[in-house]
Structure 1
Amino acid sequence: MMQTWRLDDEIQTVVLAAPEGGLPGIAYWGAPLPASEDLATLAAAQVVDVSGGMMDATAPISVCPEARRAFPGQPGLRLSDAQGRAVTPCLALGTVEAGPDRFEATASEGGITYQLSLHLREGLLVSKAALEMDAPHRVEWLAAPVLPVPAQSDGLTDVSGRWIGEFQLQRHDWRPGIHLREARQGRSGHEHPPFALLTTPGTTNAAGEVWALAYGWPGGHRMVAEELPDGRRQIQFGHATGAYDGLVTRVESAELTGAYSAAGLNGAAVRLQRHLRALTAPRARQPRPVHYNCWEAVYFDHDRAVLDEIAEQAAELGAERFVLDDGWFGRRDDDTTSLGDWEIDPRKWPDGLAPFAEYVRDLGMGFGLWVEPEMVNFDSALYRAHPDWLLGPADQPPGRQQYVLDLAQEAVRDHLFKRLDAVLSSAPIEYLKWDHNRLLPMVDAAQVAGLYDLLDRLHAAHPTVEIESCASGGGRIDLGILSRTQRVWLSDSNDALERLRIQHDAALFLPAAITGSHVGPRTCHTSGRVLDMSFRGWVAAQRHMGFEMDPRELTEDEAATLREITLWWKTNRDWRMQADILRLDSRDPAVIAEAQLAQDGSRFVVFVGQAATSAQIAPRPLALCGLDPEAMYEVDLVNRDQASHLSRGAMPIKDGPLTLSGQALMRHGLTLPWRFPGTMWVVEGRRL
């Protein structure tokens, strides 16, 4: 006898089915099913045949596939008892609480209880698993509720990357066996952050079916995507192997958030963008302020007279928040010393930070501060007093000349809270750039729990302080850390060409309002490339805009260009920071383009980045998406004055706005003038 349940919203249907007494599995997740669908028949129709070389009964892909039921793939749970013997429970379904958009259940055997939660929220499927045990066990692996991969999926895309080269998309065709990604360095990671996309043949940004997955955990994580010998496929997410230290009686996964779309990658991306905007907005300053960060101007060299001058020029350019970066505490003259000593350096700041913060406020800017609380240098008063607060052995190799504090220790968290609370109370500080520059020596779920506790205490004591998640740039970006922070530093690269691509691919998950993007120095400090101010400015204007250079280096023309772009950003930020980012399918691989569409559809802006030299001699039309095909739109070039002298043709859009239907803009596209590589066209559109 098969038990079935269904969850529905306007976007999707989820069907769960359980054999009598057993764990349920997801029998369907996709486009809405008719109300008349017979769920028992739907589930029964998926039963796999038995043939040679198989067990006499095929174990289902349940929310936690069980080895004891002869499941032919990776199980959803691996644990052992205190004597090291493997324990393989055969869980029997117990309590069930279900509603139109939620399903919660327990299943147990022999003092081991599995807890399952699935909810439809904001167009997303949010699921979580937990395990409670009467006696202590060693848990090697607990997957979040396991998802069967739809048969129509032909590929999986996950995310790779590196420092100053984050969010690189990797597509994999399905094949027999396991595709395993594991982040074992204690944070979400540049190398493989916890995101994945399942797609159908021919999927583009604007068409095809997509199942997007995001595991909300800023510690080490593991993804297993497996094609079984019988052809079925499953995907599992959970904490990295070894995250649960020692014998425990309770563990839980992080939330696994899924977005289904029948309208291409953008459909899933928009739902995740909207979710993260809503998640981070309550503590984020509104409207979003233009940042100035002094790191690439002065590094550790803090001179009040110099910083006063820089602050004046930053304000004149349009900055609304001044962030004092590394070097203000301890005796921090380089990166070898003073992490952990969160007291203001009296050599550099004899009167504390308050006078400078007030000076910044008088210039019309809020004041922010860089911190890296989870770390310690051996050359610090903190380490000399408390070598026992180190995470891992003292003879471990350093990373960026630093080590990690053990946040599982209450005394460590109390000390950090006390010091940070004192600093935040000493001056009008509205923002913390919270960095995390080294990898952990081990995977440790308790470290993340300690971080969450510290962030929660700081938010409670200073509810108006906004926190940015930075980890050598984009090394810690996931839905877990974003449940407690309000902005991310996407990459340490301020090279606008590199940023153009990184931002484009990160938009599959991240909205503009939380994604920091800054105008860097004329000569980029991480690539050595020299790019025009207009291009640098427009790339930063695609997201939460800021500056990170020495404004004293700017020519009059560069300053004027930056002021103009910043004014445009401020004029449009109210609707744009709430807009949906739609990646555009360019027919020219040298072009990286996106549209930002107001949620009411009344207006849009298109950014068309010429990332390289095109193979053809003239630009190809760029098809838009997300518009009303019956509506008429006025479209206009914002920056037509930046047309090259090599663009010699007579084109109506060079002279003024055009009026075109949404159908024409989406089916044929918009033809723009020729441009040099390393330049950007910006097009505004309004529905008439």
Structure 2
Amino acid sequence: MQVWRLDDSAQTIVVASIDNSMAFIAYWGAVLPEHENLAQVVHAQMRDLTGGMIDQNAPVSLCPVEGDAFPGMPALVASDASGIDLMPCFTLRQAHFKKQSLELIYVDKALGLTYSANINSAIDGVWQLTSQLDSEVDIKVHWLAAPVLPSADKAPRVLEFGGRWCGEFKLSERSFGPSALVRENRTGRTGHEHFPGLMTLAQGANYCQGDVYAWHYGWSGGHKMVAEQLPDGRRQVQFGHVPHSHRALAKTFSSANQYIAFSAHGINGVSVPLQKYVREQLLPSSIMQKPRPVHYNCWEAIYFDHDVDLLKDLASRAAGLGAERFVLDDGWFGKRDDDTTSLGDWDLDIRKYPHGLTPLIEHVQSCGMGFGLWFEPEMVNEESNLYKAHPQWVLGRASQTRGRQQLVLNIALPAVQEYLYTKVSHMLANNAIEYIKWDHNRVLPFADVAQTQAIYGLLSRLRAAFPHVEIESCSSGGARIDYGVLEHTQRVWLSDSNDALERLRIQHQAATFLPAIVTGSHVGPRHCHTSGRVHSMNFRAWVAAQRHMGMEMDPRELTTTEADQLRQVVTFWKQQRDWLLKADILRLDSHDEAILAELHLAATGEQFVVFAGVADSSAQISPRPLPLTGLDAKAQYEIDLVNRDELVSLSRGEMAIKVEKLTLSGSYLMNYGVTLPWQFPNAMWVLKGKRL
């Protein structure tokens, strides 16, 4: 028997192989003592046999396959070129082990197959796992999971993320049972409907306490997830590219990066290192070293009605509100007067811009702002010069169902890659553009690994040529958000919904995986275009201030009071952003179901901001105390209600926090909490705290 141990500050992973068979995770959980006898760990967790079972339990290995009575779903399904199923029997050939990395290489000489599994530390608290299959001859792989992990018996609760357009990152809780939880996202993108993430939780676990295990599959092309309880009670979790998305015979197949994290300190315990991984490993250091600018996006102000003088006016007004980047959205190219035409024709519309973009850009810069531009390069309208010249560049058959009156370009074709690179790079090279909003507004006709790999390649090529240009991943809002696309982009558009109430929840749940610095959040119109709801400026502005702040409305609609309120919040955000966007987002376990709250804790622990969203009317008359988290129990903290000017007349009690700063211990703040004033629904209380 061979045993390998991997450790970080939060968890221990023990991997074992018996008689050179496929290795399995013998232990994944809280850190074990240094002197732990690993052989005993492996032997001690072997389960008993009884009636109705074969003579040995097939392990939940890193790659369970058919052929040895494994009772669950296999992690590899493949066939030879003639369609005959392959049932490999792998034998360990090599093991490369370092303190925080393990590579295991297996072979099946008879079938000419080599399988490798890699487990590496991504950052303290997060591990990165990948699998690869190589064949001596061309084969077809229908399904290849990343290295498979068992799911702990003590964590029966399953939390997955679903959603819809303008309603992303909805949490759904299930339990392991006799039927496997199987999810296949075949849309060809990450998807509004199925974010590739999963958590399993111990009974009683919440944001601040309890054992939590987390998975994320960093892939933008559609995935499959399996959370399965075997007949003997053991459980397994698998993630991989959605089956049958490897469209061609090949000799090499790989999974995407699968990220895992364990914490004995609740959901926050896995979220903090995942957020940190994005900030410190995926984002270029140049992004982290300069202030994130406040955005202004003109889309919900003008839609397709582009007029240079109007745009200059909007830019001046936005700058007066505190904006630092002006993003020109859809409608600047081809003959794009509505969404039926011109996608693919990435040349400036001289009807709207007879003197080019330069006059607008120069005005934007004179207002102290940088300039950004919208693209949707992966799509094409049939009413376009590109489609008429190259209908064969479309992905899928000609008779396919249209989506949003557009078709998808086959990015894997070299000619398409070159065309798009030439068009986008021409705009970047000839205009002072510092930012791209890269959109993707329909599902693919089918999931295709080559398409996803090609778009990664195109984004990477553009970033290499124009490293100063930041790229935002947008896909009808949040339909392409994952760590795969974040290797090539520096911001995500979390949702097309600018409804502050919807955003409050979406942002809150997305913080399991996303830090504030990459999460765009904008102040929308008074009358929300996607929900029809009307929210106060204070509520809209504070919700946007929880993440990378921006604006996306017509500033001409603002009253003097609304403009002043917005400027005040923007000013507060700018004063805090240097530390706030690098802070850990800790969700709070509120005793009041109407309150959705989070604490943003500075890396030094010296200061924090609490955003307590009043999402509904409380069940009881008076607000319950809100316990904080992540503080030093022995330290004293000064806390201040930042927006006490938003007190309402129905809040009649004589509370100290309404009129003065309070000094309280971390122990009190975490064990009892902060008692906030009464407030109407659809509002936000903001607390600023500092350690004394």
TM-score normalised to structure 1 length: 0.99
Match of 2:297 among 282, 293, 300: 293
Equivalences for residues 558-573 of structure 1 within 5 A: 558-573=562-577
| Contact kept in structure 1, 2:122 and 2:277, CA below 8 Å | no
Amino acid paired to 1:230: D
1:155-194 pair list within 5 angstroms: 155-194=157-196
1:151 is displaced (CA, Å) by 1.5
Instruction: Determine the structure 2 residue equivalent to 1:206.
Output: 208
Unaligned runs of at least 5 residues, structure 2: none
Aligned-partner Cα distance in 1 for 2:9–2:106: 30
Report the residue type matching 1:598 in the other structure: A
Partner of 1:11: 10
Match of 1:271 among 260, 270, 273: 273
Please say if 1:368 is aligned against 2:380. Answer: no
CA distance in 1, matches of 2:557, 2:529: 14
Q: Is the 8 A contact 2:209 2:265 kept in 1?
A: yes
* Among 132, 145, 148, the residue aligned to 1:146: 148
Write the deviation string for residues 420-473 of structure 1: whole angstroms up to 9, x where unpaired: 000111110000000000000001000011101101110111011000000000
Which among 385, 392, 395 is matched to residue 389 of structure 2?
A: 385
Per-residue deviation at 1:283? 5.3
Give me the whole-angstrom Cα distance separating, in 1, the residues matched to 2:439 and 2:611: 30
The letter of the residue matching 2:455 is L
Per-residue CA deviation, residues 609-634 of structure 1 (Å, 9 max, x unaligned), is 11111111110000000000000000
Does 1:658 pair with 2:662? yes
2:209·2:267 contact (CA, 8 Å) conserved in 1? yes
Does the CA-based 8 Å contact 1:353-1:426 persist in structure 2?
Answer: no
**Alignment-derived partner of residue 521 in structure 2:** 517
Matched, 1:671 2:670: no
How far apart, in 2, do the equivalents of 1:105 and 1:352 lie?
57
Correspondence for 1:586: 590
Q: Provide the C-alpha distance between the structure 1 equivalents of 2:425 and 2:122, rounded to a whole number of angstroms.
A: 35
Secondary structure of 2:283's match? Answer: helix
RMSD between superposed Cα atoms in Å: 0.8
1:445 aligns with: 449
Q: Secondary structure at the match of 1:352?
A: coil
**Unaligned 5+ residue runs, structure 1?**
none
1:347 and 1:66 mapped to 2: Cα distance? 61
Which residue of the partner structure matches residue 233 of structure 1?
235
Structure 2 CA distance, aligned partners of 1:45 and 1:75? 25
Q: Which residue in 2 is equivalent to 1:349?
A: 353
The 5-angstrom pairing of residues 14-163 of structure 1 reads: 14-109=13-108, 110=110, 111-123=112-124, 124-163=126-165
SS at match of 1:41: helix
Q: Which residue of 2 aligns with 1:282?
A: 285
- CA deviations on 1:41-76 (whole Å, 9 max, x unpaired) are 111112122222211111111100121222111111
Please give the secondary structure, in 2, of the residue aligned with 1:311: helix
> Where does residue 219 of structure 2 map in the other structure?
217
Check the 8 A contact 1:283/1:465 in 2, yes or no: no
Alignment of 1:636-651 (within 5 A): 636-651=640-655
Following TM superposition, by how much is the alpha carbon of 1:246 offset from its aligned partner in structure 2, in angstroms? 2.5
2:501–2:615 Cα contact (<8 Å) kept: yes
Contact 2:516 2:547 in 1 (8 A): yes
Distance in 2 between the 1:178 and 1:246 partners? Answer: 29
Name the % identity.
56
Q: Does 1:627 align with 2:631?
A: yes
CA distance in 2, matches of 1:379, 1:53: 64
The residue matched to 1:177 in structure 2 has which SS? coil
Instruction: Note the alpha carbon deviations across 1:201-234, whole angstroms, 9 max, x for none.
Output: 1001000011111100000100011100010000
1:597-616 CA distances to partner (integer Å, 9 max, x unpaired)?
Answer: 00111000001111111111
SS of the equivalent of 2:114 reads strand
Residue 55 of structure 1: SS of its match in structure 2?
coil
For the 8 Å contact 1:354–1:426, the answer to whether it is kept is no
Residues 536-595 of structure 1: CA deviation (Å, up to 9, x unaligned): 000000000000000011010000000010000000000000000000011111111110
The residue identity in structure 2 corresponding to 1:113 is: T
Q: Distance in 1 between matches of 2:530 and 2:175?
A: 34
Partner SS state of residue 69, structure 1: coil
Q: 1:128, CA displacement in angstroms? A: 0.1
TM-score, normalized by length of structure 2? 0.99
Whole-angstrom distance in 2 between the partners of 1:87 and 1:310:
62
Matched, 1:473 2:472: no
Alpha-carbon separation, structure 2, partners of 1:281 and 1:93 = 38
CA–CA distance in structure 2, aligned partners of residues 418 and 543 of structure 1 = 34
Tell me if the contact between 1:636 and 1:656 (Cα under 8 Å) persists in the aligned partners: yes
Going from structure 1 to structure 2, the CA distance change for 1:283 and 1:445 (only over 3 Å counts) comes to farther
Structure 2 distance, partners of 1:322, 1:283, is 20
Q: Distance in 2 between matches of 1:176 and 1:99?
A: 39
* CA–CA separation in structure 2 for the residues paired with 1:433 and 1:25: 43
Contact residue 526 and residue 534 of structure 2 kept, 8 A: yes
Equivalents in 2 of 1:463, 1:211: separation in Å? 36
Q: Tell me, what secondary structure is at the counterpart of 1:384?
A: helix
Structure 2 residue aligned with 1:333: 337
Q: Which residue of 1 aligns with 2:604?
A: 600
Q: How far off its partner does 1:332 sit?
A: 0.4
1:274-321 Cα offsets, whole Å, 9 max, x none, are 111121243537210000000000001100010010000000000000
Separation of aligned partners in 1, 2:148 and 2:671: 39
2:328 paired residue number: 324
Deviation sequence 1:147-192 (CA, Å, 0-9, x none): 0011111111010000000000011111123100111000000001
Q: CA deviation at 1:135?
A: 0.9
| Aligned equivalents of 1:214, 1:38: Cα separation in 2 | 31
1:302-346 deviation line (CA, Å, top 9, x unaligned): 000100100000000000000000000000000000000111111
Counterpart of 2:534? 530
Structure 2 counterpart of 1:425: 429
Q: Per the alignment, in what secondary structure is the counterpart of residue 107 of structure 1? A: strand
Q: Report the 3-state secondary structure (helix = DSSP H, G, I; strand = E; otherwise coil) of the residue aligned with 1:68.
A: coil
Aligned AA (1:328):
W
The question of whether the paired residues in 1 share the 8 Å contact of 2:17 and 2:24 is answered with yes
- Write the letter of the residue equivalent to 1:252: S
AA in 2 matched with 1:441: P
Q: Determine the C-alpha separation between the residues in 2 that align with 1:12 and 1:224.
A: 23
Deviation at residue 242 of structure 1 after TM alignment: 0.8
* Separation (CA, whole Å) in 1 of partners of 2:382 and 2:225: 35
Counterpart Cα distance in 2 of 1:351 and 1:88:
65
1 CA distance for matches of 2:62 and 2:98?
Answer: 18
Name the amino acid aligned to 2:287: A
- Is contact 2:97–2:103 with CA below 8 Å preserved after alignment? yes
Q: Please say if 1:305 is aligned against 2:309.
A: yes
Alpha-carbon separation, structure 2, partners of 1:364 and 1:530: 31
1:514-533 alpha-carbon deviations (Å, 9 max, x no partner): 00000001100001111100
Amino acid aligned to 1:210 = V
Equivalent AA in structure 1 for residue 189 of structure 2: R
AA aligned opposite 2:75: G
Aligned residue in 2 for 1:492:
496
Question: Secondary structure of the residue that 1:44 maps to in structure 2?
Answer: helix
Inter-partner Cα distance in structure 2 for 1:642 and 1:610:
13
Partners of 1:588 and 1:284 in 2: CA distance: 37
Provide the secondary structure at the position in 2 that maps to 1:284.
Answer: helix
